[in-house]
């Protein structure tokens, strides 16, 4: 299927996300912060899409997406967040990305990833 970059500062959450996506047939590169994520992309090449936590210490998901898109401008992205306010939805739309609220179900996560991969330029 697709090669996905998953970044979440909570190792257990990152592993859970990866497990669901691997079961759905995807290859997953995991990182727990921006520096490692960027190093993984430099080492393995651009992913087909990124699944990013919004609220991370240091570099948040939005800034990380900016850095990833500096080299890969059309990189589709999905944000996972416990911050579900209108400001986060607006900012997600500004980044031409999608979002899924935490806590999520395997079906909602995998469904959002499949939708993102099928229609990368159409955020929902």
Total domains in the chain come to 1
pTM beyond 0.75, yes or no: yes
Q: Are 109 and 21 in contact (CB under 8 A)?
A: yes
Strands 3-7 and 27-31: parallel
In a domain, 107, yes or no: no
In a domain, 51, yes or no: yes
Domain with 67 in it: 3-76+86-97
What phi, psi does 15 have (nearest 5°)?
Answer: -65, -40
In a domain, 111, yes or no: no
pLDDT < 70 positions in the chain? 122-124
pLDDT at 39: 97
């Amino acid at each position: 299927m697709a090669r996905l970059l998953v970044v979440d500062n909570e190792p257990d959450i990152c592993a859970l996300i990866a497990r669901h996506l691997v079961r759905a047939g995807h290859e997953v590169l995991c990182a727990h912060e921006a520096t490692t994520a960027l190093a993984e992309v430099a080492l393995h090449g651009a992913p087909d899409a990124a699944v990013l936590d919004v609220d991370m210490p240091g570099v948040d998901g939005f800034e990380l997406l900016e850095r990833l898109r500096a080299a890969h401008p059309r990189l589709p992205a999905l944000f996972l967040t416990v911050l579900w306010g209108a400001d986060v939805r607006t900012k997600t739309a500004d980044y031409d990305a999608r979002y899924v609220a935490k806590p999520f179900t395997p079906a909602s996560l995998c469904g959002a990833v499949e939708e993102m991969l099928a229609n990368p330029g159409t955020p929902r």
